[in-house]
Structure 1
Amino acid sequence: MEFIVNLVFALGAVYIVYSYYFFAFKGKVPQSPAALGRAFAAPTLIWALVLFIISFIQKWAVSPFFSFLSVYEALSTIAAVILSVASGWVASRTSENTQAMNLKILSTIGLVPFSIVTWVGFMSGPTMVVWLLIFAYIPMQYIGYRAYKKYS
Structure 2
Amino acid sequence: MKIQLKVNEIDKVFDVEPGEMLADVLNRYKYTVRRGCDTGSCGLCTILLNGKPITSCSYLAVRAGGHSITTIDGVQEKAKEIGEFLVAEGVDQCGYCSPGFVMNVIAMEKELKNPTEEEINHYLVGNLCRCSGYVGHLRALKKYLGVSE
Pair in the same fold by TM > 0.5: no
More strand by share: 2
- 1 or 2 for the larger relative contact order (CA 8 Å, sep ≥6)? 1
Whose radius of gyration is greater, 1 or 2? 1
TM-score (norm 1): 0.31
More helix by share: 1
TM-score (norm 2): 0.31
